[in-house]
Amino acid sequence: MAQKRKSLIKIKPKKFKDGEVVKVSFMVMHPMDTGTRKDKKTKQLIPAKFINSVKFSYNGKEITNMTVWEALSTNPVFTTYMKINGKGKLTVTYTDNTGEVNEKSKKIKPKG
């Protein structure tokens, strides 16, 4: 059950060389409901809906694997570092507790 979500992969610095270590951040628009909050109008609990796991993979090889719980803020950001190793593709796969699976990828082109 895939749903369209706005997401973004940012790499800093924008221009990088082969073998360089760069900062990678991934952002998603997601409600991250904990399941303990009440709707103010209907006074009923809002069901839990949060991201379960996030995987960063580079050319099919997994580099970072995260297990996520409810305590992350709405529209979460995940920032780590990554070593550039030739041309390729960075793919981020994220799963929801309701079974929603999504993917976002970005091409990587080192210069020089």
Q: Among residues 4, 41, 61, 111, which is the contact residue for another protein, using CB under 8 A? A: 61
3 contact partners, CB below 8 Å, separation of at least 6: 100, 102
If one asks whether residue 46 binds another protein (CB under 8 A), the answer comes out as no
If one asks whether residue 98 binds another protein (CB under 8 A), the answer comes out as no
Q: Among residues 43, 67, 107, 112, which is the contact residue for another protein, using CB under 8 A? A: 67
65 contact partners, CB below 8 Å, separation of at least 6: 53, 54, 55, 56
Q: Among residues 41, 73, 99, 107, which is the contact residue for another protein, using CB under 8 A? A: 73
Cβ neighbours, 10 Å, residue 78: 18
Residue 27's φ and ψ, nearest 5 degrees, are -120, 140
If one asks whether residue 70 binds another protein (CB under 8 A), the answer comes out as yes
If one asks whether residue 94 binds another protein (CB under 8 A), the answer comes out as no
Q: Please give the Cα distance from 20 to 97 (Å, whole number).
A: 35
Shortest distance, CB of residue 61 to another protein, whole angstroms?
7
Binding site for another protein (CB under 8 A): 21, 34-37, 45, 48, 58, 61-74, 76-83, 85
